[in-house]
Structure 1
Amino acid sequence: MIEELKKKKLTEIREKLAEEQQGAIQKQLEEQIESQQQIAMLEGIAKQFLTKEALERYGRIKIAHPAVAIKTISLIA
């Protein structure tokens, strides 16, 4: 009887932990998607002001140093 209660409680704890982890992963994914959308919007605005050569340089920076590219594009936009 006591063993059954322990197993049941352990199962409940595992399920709760799994739900919390799933929620955290879902939230992180949503934040990442929102961030990517914002970056795409900034790029769209900034690209209107860039020459062909500047776009090529930005593309190289974006590949080599994504964080620097985000800072750069936000300054331009």
Structure 2
Amino acid sequence: MSEIVLYGANWCGDCRRAKAWLREHEVPFTDVDVEQDDAARDRAIELAGGRKNIPVIALPDGRVLVEPTDTELAAAVQG
């Protein structure tokens, strides 16, 4: 994986905030809608260790963030 993958849903406020932060900081990412794709939903739950919270953000280095704050997202992306 060469880019960040964000698993989320359009109705999710935390997902919208995370996407806005990534766009504002010009961080490329793939937006995967777990409401429209059952396999993606299952993958997000798997990545999150069984949790069903979103967004689940998969980083290129293998780290996974679940419902990160803007501060946590910044540290992960810029760190």
> Is TM-score (shorter-chain normalized) higher than 0.5?
no
Greater fraction helix: 1
Larger Rg: 1
Greater fraction strand: 2
Give the TM-score normalised by structure 2: 0.25
